[in-house]
């Protein structure tokens, strides 16, 4: 393998050129509107499986970007995702990023009720007074809790990015929203993660 000496400012551009070329060689065509998001996910993970497993509800990208432009806030289920989201870009539209998972009162309430912190965090998020885009990259229980609130008529999320990673309830939790009327971007299967959730949010932000 030879080393390519590339200017730092050109590395990302070169990476996307490689991704596009490899997708072409695999015979994979991503719909034009979805391509910037799916390619950024591949760029983050170096995993081309996402070209086949990323799922977008009808009009999802347009709706998500309109929410952002109108000041929607982002709620994540990890501080890692919060750290990875471009908060300055989001703030330029009036939005903020929240993660309640590490809050002491959330941990205390979760222990008392014998539920996960993700459950309590989603309840806190549902009480926010502005539209929220949920970016879930770790906890399937976050998706399950959101769905249960919907079923109980307590709360319906404006938009869900559902890419938790793992083995327990991960695929089933994603299926809840794949089969719902809630606008969403979901990755089928076990793969995902906080970095993937942040990458999707950033791709939406950069499209603006």
Closest C-alpha among 131, 127, 189 to residue 164: 189
Pairing of strands 159-162, 132-136: parallel
| Helical residues (DSSP H) of the chain, grouped into ranges | 11-25, 35-45, 50-53, 60-69, 79-84, 87-91, 104-113, 117-126, 140-151, 170-178, 194-206
Closest C-alpha among 143, 47, 131 to residue 93: 131
Are the C-beta atoms of 48 and 42 separated by less than 8 Å?
Answer: yes
The set of catalytic residues is 43
């Amino acid at each position: 393998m030879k080393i390519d000496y590339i200017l730092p400012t050109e590395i990302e551009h070169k990476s996307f050129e490689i991704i596009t070329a490899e997708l072409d060689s695999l015979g994979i065509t991503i719909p034009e509107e979805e391509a910037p998001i799916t390619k950024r996910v591949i760029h983050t993970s170096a995993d081309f499986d996402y070209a086949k497993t990323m799922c977008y509800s009808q009009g999802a990208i347009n709706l998500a970007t309109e929410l952002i432009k109108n000041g929607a806030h982002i709620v994540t289920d990890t501080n890692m995702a919060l750290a990875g989201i471009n908060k300055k870009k989001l703030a330029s539209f009036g939005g903020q990023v929240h993660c309640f998972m590490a809050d002491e009162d959330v941990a205390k309430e979760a222990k008392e009720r014998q539920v996960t912190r993700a459950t309590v965090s989603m309840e806190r998020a549902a009480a926010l007074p502005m539209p929220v885009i949920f970016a879930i990259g770790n906890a399937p229980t976050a998706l399950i809790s959101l769905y249960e609130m919907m079923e109980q008529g307590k709360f319906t999320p404006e938009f869900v990015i559902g890419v938790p990673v793992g083995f327990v309830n991960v695929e089933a939790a994603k299926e809840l929203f794949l089969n719902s009327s809630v606008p969403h971007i979901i990755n089928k299967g076990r793969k995902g993660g906080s970095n993937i959730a942040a990458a999707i949010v950033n791709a939406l932000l950069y499209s603006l």
